[in-house]
Amino acid sequence: MSNIAFPYSIDSAGRTGLTDTASHVRDLVEQTLLTSQGERVNRPTFGTGLMQMTFAPNSAEVAMAIQFLIQGALQQWLGDLVRIEQVNVVAEDATLNVQVQYVVLATQQRETTQVVTGVPS
């Protein structure tokens, strides 16, 4: 099954770019992680608030709190597409390294997505 690619693109035939299920779900996970709550007008609670933490004080406790926020948001918004197996958030210097392991329910494939925010040292 093909899905519309994100970010939106035009393919070589001049049609809307398409992507496979695994890539589409990965794009949805990344969108959920990188969208701040309140950013989407019609879904003000969508997102994780991860990007708001870019310039906030960084510690292991903050990373743990963000881990729970991320897991809750992914289960709320993508629970019908994926089964979240593990969310790891590691605070290092001025960065947050987020790794999400999940199973795509349509294909039963295990996938991992990683997002790093902040200023790498």
Residue 112: strand pairing partners: 101
Report domain extents, the chain. Answer: 3-118
β-strand pairing of 82-92 with 95-104: antiparallel
pLDDT at 68: 92
Arithmetic mean of pLDDT over the chain: 89
pTM score, whole prediction:
0.84
Q: Are 57 and 68 in contact (CB under 8 A)?
A: no
Distance between CA atoms of residues 118 and 41, nearest Å: 25
Q: How far is CA 5 from CA 86, 102, 113, 119, in A?
A: 25, 20, 17, 28
CATH class, domain 3-118, is alpha beta
pLDDT tens readout for residues 41-90:
899 999 988 888 777 777 888 888 889 999 999 999 999 999 999 999 99
* In the predicted structure, residue 11 carries a pLDDT above the cut 90: no
